Structure 1
Amino acid sequence: MLTMSRKGLLILVFLSSVVALCVARQPHDADIDDNEFAEFEEFEDEEEEAVIEEEPIVEKKVQPRDIAGEEVEEEDDEVVVETEDDEFEHLQDEEEFEGFDKERGSTKGKSQDKLPDLEMAKVPLHLRTNWDSFYLEMLMIAGLGVYFLNFLAGKTKNGKLAQCWLGSHREILESNFAIVGDDGSAKEVTSGILMKDSENVYALWCSGRTCVEGMLVELKLLKRQDLINCLLRLFKPASDQVVVTVDMEKAIMDKFVFCIAHKKVATKLHKDMQDLSQFTERKNVDRYDLPASYQVLSEVGEATSAILDKKVCQVLTKFEGLVDFMHFSDQYSGPKNQDESQPTKMPTTKSVLIFSFNVPGRGKTKTSDMEVIRPLLQLVFYCMDKIGRLQLSREAKNKSEKNRQKAEEVFLKQAHAQRQEAAQARREEKKRAEKERLLSEEDPDKARKLEERESRREMKRKQPKMKMMKMKAM
């Protein structure tokens, strides 16, 4: 029994000692459980101490900031940066930091944390505009202003000149025509209306007179509304013009072509107008008692002598500088065809009397100058009556008729030659297409057949044609 009690006592003492030891060791064990990498911390501390001994320069890594400006936490609090002595040598610019040491020396007594403030210099706003930079724009605006003012002034002056001409000639026009200035827009007949074709061209239509289908008066004034045209007239002066075109009845006017004009104008008209270049010849004016500045283009001498009578010659001599030309023709078709192609039909012709008068003033026309050319309009009516009464002799009529037949034959020959050329060109094009087809054929047998067929066709075309005569049965 004693021995059993001693053994139980020893067991209790051992158990109590074990429990005491467990209680004493419990905090140390918790630390071990919480820090799983505790056994490696000793090695890291040793390595960091070794690095610090080798490299004396240690910099802290600047904590990056997020958008809100708060520092972003990183796993490693400190980072060791290895630097060399000359790593930032290329950034050491002496001129850039000139005077910086002096400022640092002057601030030694102050707190080292407070660095000198670097502020941008305040540049004041330049309130005054530099107009020298806009001289091109100013010149352009000034040019547009001058052009606009000249347009208004020229447009107004041309309108006044046209109305002044109508006012000074309206009485004589109404005495010779039943309708003066009807534009045809209204159902009722109106008079005294100038039709405005452009800012410098005005037209007046008159009708209602014997032997005449109508008369068109065109006032071709200078382009005073155009500044460039005004500048050009400083080097090449020009005048306002009044062009009168009278449409005569075809049965009333005899067949002849006549023109009298200044020499330069006559040369230009003879070159450009179809009827003058085809029917007339140049003649001098010595026998007609006219100034040497004029030149006559005449087809029938009898008609020329009848037109240039004493009264007409007096007016032409008195207004030598104002009468530009007078063109009478029963074959008037306008200017020549500038195209190289020949028309297939004869041009349409009509009987006209065309007068072109210059307004005095040489560009500086006044409203009073429009009344000076009133006798020239009377000359127009005199010529209208004279042409309506003119009767040519049989010889003159035969001569003019032969000239027209000859002109028609020449036109038909030219048209026929042009058609022949067009047909020849089509044949050549067809031959060229056939040759290209033969060359592009890959099958030799087919190409040979095509060539033989083309040769037979060519030989057949060259053979003379034989006329077959039919014999009637007995």
Structure 2
Amino acid sequence: MSALNFLAPRPFSHPETWEGIEYKWKFLVFRPAYFQHEGYVLAAVALYLVLFFVGKSLNEKKASSWFTAHKSLLEANFSKPASGGLIQDGYSDFFAFSSGRRNVASLHAIFTLRPRHDPFQLIMQTGYAAFDLQYRPLDDLQLDFLLPASIPADFVWALVHKDELRGIKKGRWDLTFTRTTENPALPGYLSVMSEYADITENMFKLPAGQALLKVLEDPAIKPYFRSLSITDQPRDRPSTVAEFEDRQKHVILSLVAPPASSASVDEPLVKAVFALIDQLSRVALRPETKNKLRTVRADVSKEIKKEEAEKLAEESNVEDKKAAKRRAEEERIARLPAAEQQKILERERKRSFKKAQSRVTGRK
């Protein structure tokens, strides 16, 4: 036991006199000098709570300010504007859903803000941004317009801020269909991503396309614009032909969420996107362009179908190997003496009983 004496706490020595600060109430005595470390812990917890509530309120204010500033625009365009109001999921994610408009099946406004409520996550984001120069933590706002099937937008086309070009294809499988080019009609900070030049020419011929370019030339828009894409492909690569064929058409406006003090700065841009959607039916692609688009999609469908068949064959091979292993084991047991077979059967019975018991306990 003497070897463990160092683990025992030192005996408390109550001083005869106390010259420090103390608070007495009946038989209770509180001396703050004895609780210095606890005071530091409480101060740290209090600071974290203050930062939590301040960051939480900043995110809520940013999302609600944008929603309030654009409420009249949503009401003018949708019969059910933002039904349910602004929905909060956690402390940095907010959503608004609108429906009931010609040429737009629905609109999802999705805020993914920085985790201001969690100082540790903010520090990690800032540190990683210093390590990886391509990583830029931003307050993301996406307006995802789902188009009806009747809109002839069977292509992939996008305007992208040049700062986004390096990473945008990593997160958007649909944009891998495109080639990135410069265009003299665009402001200097933008590039166009298009499957074919014919699509770009048609987009810029539209009156709404020309109006969109004028809006994008506004210096007030530049800090908040990230990309505008028109796509008939999913963002993530489908794993089955059924998923690939069941594709939907979207117009996706990706922005940096503006501060609460400038919540309405992107309203002209949103209006221009509504006008562009209304004129998409006027896009008249050349027949050879349409044939090329169909060929590309047919080739992708064949590739996915081939991968799907290979995956099914691999799974079938695994099952065949398991079945062959079971048969070999059964044949081995069949060649054993009866006593040995009885022992093996008893072990299997006990193992099955234990599994059944664990499943019943898990349900409880």
Q: What's the TM-score once normalised by structure 1's chain length?
A: 0.56
Corresponding residue for residue 320 of structure 1: 222
C-alpha RMSD over aligned residues: 3.1
Name the amino acid aligned to 2:102: T
1:260 aligned counterpart, secondary structure: strand
Corresponding residue for residue 300 of structure 1: 196
Q: Percent identity?
A: 22
Q: Which one of 274, 277, 289 corresponds to residue 173 of structure 2?
A: 274
Render the CA deviation track for 1:178-225: whole Å, top value 9, x for unaligned. 232222xxxxxxxxx322233333322222221111212223333222
Higher-helix-fraction structure: 2
Query: Kindly tell me: are residues 374 and 295 of structure 1, through their superposed partners in 2, closer, same or farther at Cα, counting changes over 3 Å?
Result: same
Distance 1:133 1:305 in 2: 77
Distance 1:199 1:143 in 2: 21
Corresponding residue for residue 218 of structure 1: 110
Q: Between Structure 1 and Structure 2, how many residues are aligned?
A: 301
1:251 aligned counterpart, secondary structure: coil
Query: Kindly tell me: are residues 126 and 439 of structure 1, through their superposed partners in 2, closer, same or farther at Cα, counting changes over 3 Å?
Result: farther
Corresponding residue for residue 417 of structure 1: 310
**1:37-436 matched pairs, under 5 angstroms:** 125=16, 134-183=35-84, 193-232=85-124, 235=127, 236=129, 238-263=137-162, 265-277=164-176, 280-291=177-188, 293-308=189-204, 309-318=209-218, 319-331=221-233, 333-336=234-237, 342-343=239-240, 345-347=242-244, 348-360=246-258, 365=259, 367-436=260-329
Deviation, structure 1 residue 140: 2.1
Query: Kindly tell me: are residues 429 and 194 of structure 1, through their superposed partners in 2, closer, same or farther at Cα, counting changes over 3 Å?
Result: closer
1:328 aligned counterpart, secondary structure: strand
Deviation, structure 1 residue 163: 3.1
Query: Kindly tell me: are residues 435 and 162 of structure 1, through their superposed partners in 2, closer, same or farther at Cα, counting changes over 3 Å?
Result: closer
Distance 1:209 1:176 in 2: 6
Deviation, structure 1 residue 370: 0.9
Distance 1:302 1:260 in 2: 15
2:199 aligned counterpart, secondary structure: helix
Maintained 8 Å contact 1:257/1:299:
yes
Maintained 8 Å contact 1:208/1:214:
yes
Distance 2:164 2:327 in 1: 54
Distance 2:45 2:15 in 1: 37
Distance 1:431 1:159 in 2: 60
Distance 2:254 2:169 in 1: 16
2:116 aligned counterpart, secondary structure: coil
- For the pair shown, the structure with the greater C-alpha radius of gyration is 1
Deviation, structure 1 residue 232: 4.5
Query: Kindly tell me: are residues 130 and 430 of structure 1, through their superposed partners in 2, closer, same or farther at Cα, counting changes over 3 Å?
Result: same
Maintained 8 Å contact 1:260/1:266:
no
Render the CA deviation track for 1:409-462: whole Å, top value 9, x for unaligned. 111111112222223333334444455556666469xxxxxxxxxxxxxxxxxx
Structure 1: tracts of 5 or more residues without a match? 1-121, 184-192, 445-474
Query: Kindly tell me: are residues 175 and 439 of structure 1, through their superposed partners in 2, closer, same or farther at Cα, counting changes over 3 Å?
Result: closer
Query: Kindly tell me: are residues 427 and 163 of structure 1, through their superposed partners in 2, closer, same or farther at Cα, counting changes over 3 Å?
Result: closer
Deviation, structure 1 residue 124: 5.1
Maintained 8 Å contact 1:211/1:388:
no
Name the amino acid aligned to 1:282: R
Q: What's the TM-score once normalised by structure 2's chain length?
A: 0.71
Maintained 8 Å contact 1:158/1:199:
yes
- Structure with higher RCO (Cα < 8 A, 6+ apart): 2
Distance 2:67 2:257 in 1: 14
Maintained 8 Å contact 1:179/1:206:
yes
1:216 aligned counterpart, secondary structure: strand
Name the amino acid aligned to 2:115: K
Query: Kindly tell me: are residues 163 and 264 of structure 1, through their superposed partners in 2, closer, same or farther at Cα, counting changes over 3 Å?
Result: closer
Structure 2: tracts of 5 or more residues without a match? 1-12, 23-29, 130-135, 338-364
Distance 1:174 1:282 in 2: 37
